[in-house]
Structures are given as structure tokens and as C-alpha cells.
Amino acid sequence: MRSCYTKYQPLFPTENFMAIIRKIRNSFSRHIKLRKVRSEINRMSSILGKRGSYFTSFAYTSITRLKAIKDVSAEEFEALVTQEVEKLHTRYREYRWS
């Protein structure tokens, strides 16, 4: 039987997450074809496994709404994406267990 108290695991594998987030940001800021952005989003989604759907959902809706993407530093962009994906993940968990 599994214990309900498990060791906290980070939401994302940080080394891969940071690299892919920067690639996605750069793709948007340089106006590279959307196909390149989609391939990076799909790659990130596969790395995240079960949590990939939260990232994909955020990526296709929220990232495209960022109009001033060139003005945001890579670190700020990464923090924004992490925050939004964690919000989606939390909202899903609350909905699932309510």
C-alpha cells in the first residue's frame, strides 16, 4: 500500500526545462516558423511525461499571447512559464479531488 506522504518531487526536470524554455522563447522572439515552436513544445511535453499536458495547454494558449516577448529576459520568461504551468497543475489537482 502506498503512503499518502511521499517525498516532494519537483514539477519539472530543471536542466531540461530551462533549456527548452529558452529555445521556445528564442523561437518566438526571432519569429521563427511556428513549426519550430511546436516541435520544442512537443519535446518538452514528452520530457515531462504525465505533466506534459499542463505545459502544452499553457504553451499553446498563453505563450502566444505574450506580445512583448522580445522585452522579457530568458529568466523572467522561464519564471513566468513555470508559474503558469504550476497554476494549471494545482487547478487540475483541486478539480480532480473536489
Q: Quick check: is 69 in a domain?
A: yes
How many domains does one find in the chain? 1
Residue 26: alpha-carbon gap to chain centroid: 15
Q: Which residue has the cell 494549471?
A: 88
Q: Quick check: is 32 in a domain?
A: yes
pLDDT score of 98 more than 60: no
The parent domain of residue 54 ranges over: 14-97
Q: Quick check: is 55 in a domain?
A: yes
pLDDT tens-digit map of 67-96: 455 566 767 777 777 776 677 667 766 766
Q: Quick check: is 1 in a domain?
A: no
Question: What is the pLDDT, as a whole number, of residue 55?
Answer: 66
pLDDT tens-digit map of 4-38: 444 545 555 555 666 666 676 666 655 555 566 66
Q: Quick check: is 4 in a domain?
A: no
Q: Quick check: is 73 in a domain?
A: yes
Q: What is the mean pLDDT of residues 51-57?
A: 66
Q: Quick check: is 5 in a domain?
A: no
Q: Concatenated DSSP letters for 22-57?
A: HHHHHHHHTT--HHHHHHHHHHHHHHHGGGHHHHHH
Q: Quick check: is 76 in a domain?
A: yes
